[in-house]
Structure 1
Amino acid sequence: MITRDLDAFAAFARGCAPDFGPATAKAAFLVSPDGFARAEQSARDNRYMADAEAFDAERALREHRALHVALSRQLPTACFAGREDTPDALFPNNVFATAPGRLVVGRMRHAVRQREAGRDDIRGWFRDVLGYEEVDLSTQSHPCELTGALVIDRARGLGYCGLSERCDAAGAALMHAAFGLRATLLFDLAPGEYHTNVVLAVLAGRAAMVCADGFADARVADAIAGLYPHAVPLSTAERLAFAGNAISLAGGTVTMSATAGRALRPDSRRALAEAGFAVETVALSAIEAAGGSLRCCVAEVF
């Protein structure tokens, strides 16, 4: 099922057992922010990106190394080198994503990011080292920026796809098929929002962090929250601090940036604790100048 019908999706989703696959990844990979700089093409539709003078390449490299160390404590984490001609490559989850035994390569909207999809080293690692099948969406015409646009409940095989310049309905259908999902809900993001994973996080299949003002229709946010035993509504201030750009890589932990952690309201922290999540943070303020945060940096390996 792939639909915009909230009622139909909710009725179907409530009948889906958490038996689709592992709720969290078995490994992850990063791409180092070598060549870190403001990408003017990406800035056209990313309101979270700072001005060029706010970019600090050396501090971004230090933060990224600390992120690698922190994630490696939770699960095996590899890191590929960045490249000077791909300044956004430190956000690989938009370009590369996986389902068990399968690598999906996305089609980015901007040419500066389309270069990332051609990396033979990352494709070769999955093909020749891990033995993954490749599903290449990068050469077709419809933007589909993978787990930036599509937030996936891996336990139940459900997708939540926000449409924007970074993903159209045809691209969403291609991703739905590539990941083999049971059902995907399509909806419009609020004007100015570029990726779903800034306004929604599904944590280990049992909790959802949802910022209603990131959705064009707040009823969609309410419907998604209602599908989980633990819902964490996020305020505008929490969204702007990237609290929604969090990830659960281990069943009892949610990891986010230090900026996001400081912005969490007591009610949000309490809701996460009740869902069984300890909050871990990593300082990423230099990286966040590029308009993304911790979850954007992490490509999951299932």
Structure 2
Amino acid sequence: MFTPSVQAPSAVVMVRPHRFHPNPQTAADNAFQARTAQHAPDETALRAYAEVTAAAACLQDAGVRVHLFEDTGERNTPDAVFPNNWFSTHPGGHVAIYPMYAENRRRERRSDVIEMLKAEYRVQDVIDYSGLEADGMFLEGTGAMVLDHLGRIAYTAQSNRADPVALERFCTHFNYEPMAFATADAQGHPCYHTNVMLCVGTAFALGGFHMITDPKRRSAVRERLLETGREVIELSTWQIGEYAGNALELTGTQGRVLALSARAAASLTAEQRAAIERSARLLPLSVPTIEQAGGSVRCMLAGVHLARRGAPEPKIQAKMASRALSASVNSYIFNSK
């Protein structure tokens, strides 16, 4: 019998796009995004729709609960397939809503997702940071931050999409330690989202640590991960480009799985695979069309770290909940736009 982990949720929210295409508003600072289309627009949309459908089915077959929402495209939301950027959930019944850098990504926020969470899970409060957009401050959820729910650390690559004031505000409210660092790829571009270079699981961490430009900060990040008992697995520049860092550990009915793209899984060495599989089974998902937008499997999955209604709250969640928010924090309840 496997032990549940607060790091690996057993449910996710996904969005199936009907009119998917790479977002022109995000191309300037997303070095992972394809610059030329591989297929005609209609074919691209059909392929993306099919990839999300198949990925959701594969996750469900592994025993992960999938809440699948449709995005029909009327609001011009090309990146709607990446819901982890606009909201996150936390043990103890807490939900956060985030300010988005690209204007057309702000339209991805939708009240029906929040209402579903309230109906299906125990939601105590919703803290809405989206008003920070008016002040030019952005924090794109668990894309901008890779959260260690066990060690209470928010690993954050500095970028246009991770404002330090917004980060401090989130960490104060949710009781995380901010650990920010500057990054650069081989061309000197900063990493637009932390979750394309770092994945923190229960017993391991995958990371392109060479991208952290300050050697002392690089060592500090690695040391913090080691201090929390994780095996640190170094990813090469090529593996980062293959999305090997863009993975999410989940809990299925037979144990923990690491959801990642088929492309990412193929890039791992035998030694790296063995290290991961000591605690989680690899679950490759084929999403080559989605990856043209500059994100992969982890970006497609918004983990649900909430207790289901009608079920006893797991002890591990109750323990973490007591640390998550103090009673003095003012909560900003989400208002549908």
TM-superposed CA distance for 1:192, in Å, is 3.3
Contact kept, 8 Å, 1:210 with 1:221, in 2: the verdict is no
Q: Structure 2 CA distance, aligned partners of 1:104 and 1:145?
A: 11
Q: Structure 1 CA distance, aligned partners of 2:296 and 2:215?
A: 24
Matched residue, 1:252: 256
Q: 1:120/1:288 Cα in 2 relative to 1: closer, same or farther (>3 Å)?
A: same
Q: 1:131/1:267 Cα in 2 relative to 1: closer, same or farther (>3 Å)?
A: closer
Matched residue, 1:176: 171
**For 1:46-83, what per-residue CA distance to the aligned partner results, in whole angstroms no more than 9, with x for missing partners?**
11111352251111111111110112223211111114
Unmatched runs of 5 consecutive residues or more in structure 2: 306-337
Larger-Rg structure:
2
Contact kept, 8 Å, 1:210 with 1:225, in 2: the verdict is no
Unmatched runs of 5 consecutive residues or more in structure 1: 1-20
Q: 1:297/1:238 Cα in 2 relative to 1: closer, same or farther (>3 Å)?
A: same
Matched residue, 1:301: 304
Matched residue, 2:182: 188
Q: Structure 2 CA distance, aligned partners of 1:81 and 1:271?
A: 36
Q: Does 1:57 align with 2:45?
A: yes
- The residue type paired with residue 160 of structure 2 is E
User: 1:14-163 maps to which residues of 2 (within 5 A)?
Assistant: 22-54=6-38, 56-72=44-60, 73-84=62-73, 85-100=76-91, 101-117=93-109, 119-132=110-123, 133-140=125-132, 141=135, 142-163=137-158
TM-superposed CA distance for 1:107, in Å, is 0.5
TM-superposed CA distance for 1:271, in Å, is 2.5
Matched residue, 1:261: 265
Q: Does 1:220 align with 2:224?
A: no
Q: Structure 1 CA distance, aligned partners of 2:99 and 2:87?
A: 10
- The residue type paired with residue 70 of structure 2 is A
TM-superposed CA distance for 1:270, in Å, is 3.0
- The residue type paired with residue 197 of structure 1 is N
SS of the aligned residue for 2:131 comes to coil
Q: Structure 1 CA distance, aligned partners of 2:168 and 2:70?
A: 31
SS of the aligned residue for 1:22 comes to coil
Contact kept, 8 Å, 2:18 with 2:46, in 1: the verdict is no
Q: Structure 2 CA distance, aligned partners of 1:209 and 1:106?
A: 25
Over the matched positions of the two proteins, sequence identity in percent amounts to 31
TM-score w.r.t. the length of structure 1 is: 0.86
**For 1:59-117, what per-residue CA distance to the aligned partner results, in whole angstroms no more than 9, with x for missing partners?**
11111111101122232111111141111010000111111211111100010101112
Q: Structure 1 CA distance, aligned partners of 2:281 and 2:154?
A: 25
Q: Structure 2 CA distance, aligned partners of 1:277 and 1:126?
A: 27
Matched residue, 2:231: 230
**For 1:113-132, what per-residue CA distance to the aligned partner results, in whole angstroms no more than 9, with x for missing partners?**
01112x12112222344352
Contact kept, 8 Å, 1:37 with 1:52, in 2: the verdict is no
| CA RMSD after TM alignment | 1.8
Deviates more, 1:125-134 or 1:261-270: 125-134
Q: Structure 2 CA distance, aligned partners of 1:124 and 1:130?
A: 10
**For 1:151-207, what per-residue CA distance to the aligned partner results, in whole angstroms no more than 9, with x for missing partners?**
1111222221111011111121122134332x2212123233100001110012x21
Contact kept, 8 Å, 1:246 with 1:255, in 2: the verdict is yes
**For 1:207-253, what per-residue CA distance to the aligned partner results, in whole angstroms no more than 9, with x for missing partners?**
11110233232443433333333110000111000000011102532
SS of the aligned residue for 1:90 comes to coil
